[in-house]
């Protein structure tokens, strides 16, 4: 109850001071450092989706897709007609073609709402976001000199700045290989992602990503979801190196068969 009262007090004071009870970094910005995870089912499908059986009956309920509400503002992803056909094709082949199946890096925004945690290490010059899934990471350049993407990458090239108490991250330089979810939502190498991280209170933040890709979508669109801090006393990021779990799938055809 005491903690609850403190949150209320903080909200009440929000006109004068930001509603952050955890405090701030030494340079005065909201402290986003810590281990975060989504509770959404966005990684299964960004849009509203019912529960579905998984691809292998042997896995029963364990392999099934949970139902969930979408995180796309307005509900629909505004695909161009040809791109929509591609998405539907991707959906059909999702258990084979989703880069997550192959343990490939998730890209942005997907890395932030996978069912694995990620950790933020916040410094004035750069912010490290390191992801449990596939040991992926990215560094957001916070200096006044923007970094230009010199090559296309999975995790993109990120330049950040603070707009009041919101961390705004501008991402470019993506390849066209990552997906947004297990339902086949995709993009081209023209992807531009503008992210906004805003603390709601010390243990919750709102995550928004505006997605722009004129080759695939008719207009920019936005996802929005909360992220939750892992408040366990002994919380630490553990390791999920998944290459070994994908090798039979990727290279099984050229393994020496037992005679």
Partner 1 sequence: MKAQSWLLASSFAVGSLAFGQSAFEAPKTPWGDPDLQGVYTTDDLNGVPMQRDAKYGTRRFLTEQELAERAKEVKAERTTIDTGVRPTTGFWALVKDGGVDAAAAPAQWIEYARHATELTSLVVDPPNGRIPPLTPEGEKRRAAQPKYYDMRPASWEDLSTYDRCITRGVTGSFFPSIYGNGSQIFQMPGEVAIRYEMIHETRIIPLDGRPHVSAGLRSYMGDPRGHFEGNTLVVETTNFIGGKVDVGGVPYSEDLKLTERFTRVAPDIIDYKITIDDPQTFTAPWTVEFPIRHEPGYQIFEYACHEGNHAMHNRLSAARALDRQEAAKAAQADSK
**Rounded to the nearest 10 degrees, how much is the dihedral formed by the CA atoms of 147, 151, 152, 154?**
-80
SS3 content of the chain, % helix, strand, coil (to 5): 20, 30, 50
Longest dimension (CA), the chain: 76
Task: In angstroms, give the least distance from the CB of 204 to partner 1.
Answer: 20
The C-alpha atoms of residue 171 and residue 107 are separated, in whole angstroms, by 10
Q: How far is the CB of 229 from partner 1 (least distance, A)?
A: 15
How many angstroms separate the CA atoms of 78 and 80, rounded? 7
Torsion of CA 195, 179, 119, 244, to 10 degrees: -170
Looking at the Cβ atoms of 59 and 235, the one nearer to partner 1 is: 235
DSSP β-bridge partners for residue 208? 196, 224
| 89 SS3 class | helix
Please identify, using beta-carbon distances, which residue of 33 and 224 lies nearer to partner 1. Answer: 33
At a CB cut-off of 8 Å and minimum separation 6, what does 249 contact? Answer: 101, 102
Binding mask 136-175 for partner 1 (x = CB under 8 A): xx-x----------xx-xxx--------------------
Cross-strand pairs, 153: 174
Contacts with partner 1 by CB under 8 A: the residue count is: 40
| By CB under 8 A, residue 247 contacts partner 1 | yes
Nearest CB to partner 1, comparing residues 48 and 177: 177
**Minimum distance from CB of 241 to partner 1 (Å)?**
6
CA-based nearest residue to 105, from 116, 96, 94: 116
Footprint of partner 1 on 93-122 (CB under 8 A): 103-105, 119, 121-122
- Tell me, residue by residue from 3 to 32, as one string, x for binding to partner 1 by CB under 8 A and - for no binding: ----------------------xxx-----
* Pairing outcome for strands 221-229 and 118-122: unpaired
- Whichever of 17 and 150 has its CB closer to partner 1, that residue is 150
Site string for partner 1, 175-204 (x = CB under 8 A): --x---------------------------
* Least CB distance to partner 1 at residue 233 (A): 9
Of 35-94, binders to partner 1 (CB under 8 A) are none
Distance, in Å, from the CA atom of 175 to the CA atom of 183, rounded to the nearest integer, reads 19
Chain residues binding partner 1 by CB under 8 A are: 25-27, 33, 103-105, 119, 121-123, 125-126, 128, 130, 134-137, 139, 150-151, 153-155, 177, 234, 236-239, 241, 243-244, 247, 250-251, 254-256
């Amino acid at each position: 109850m005491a903690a609850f009262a403190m949150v209320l007090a903080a909200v009440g004071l929000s006109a004068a001071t930001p509603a952050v009870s955890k405090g701030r970094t030494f340079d005065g910005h909201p402290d986003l450092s810590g281990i975060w995870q989504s509770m959404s089912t966005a990684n299964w499908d960004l849009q509203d989706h019912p529960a579905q059986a998984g691809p292998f009956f042997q896995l029963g309920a364990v392999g099934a897709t949970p139902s969930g509400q979408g995180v796309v503002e307005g509900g629909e992803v505004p695909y161009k007609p040809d791109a929509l056909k591609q998405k539907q094709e991707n959906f059909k082949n999702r258990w084979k073609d989703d880069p997550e199946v192959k343990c490939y890096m998730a890209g942005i925004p997907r890395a932030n709402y996978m069912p694995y945690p990620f950790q933020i290490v916040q410094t004035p010059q750069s912010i490290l976001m390191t992801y449990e899934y596939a040991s992926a990471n990215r560094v957001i350049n916070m200096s006044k000199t923007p970094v230009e993407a010199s090559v296309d990458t999975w995790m993109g090239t990120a330049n950040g700045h603070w707009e009041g108490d919101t961390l705004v991250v501008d991402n470019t330089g993506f390849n066209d290989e990552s997906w947004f979810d297990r339902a086949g939502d995709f993009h081209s190498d023209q992807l531009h992602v503008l992210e906004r991280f805003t603390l709601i209170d010390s243990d919750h933040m709102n995550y928004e990503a505006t997605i722009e890709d004129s080759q695939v979508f008719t207009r920019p669109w936005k996802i929005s979801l909360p992220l939750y801090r892992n408040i366990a006393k002994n919380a630490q990021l553990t390791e999920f190196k998944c290459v070994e779990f994908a090798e039979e799938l990727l290279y099984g055809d050229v393994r020496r068969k037992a005679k």
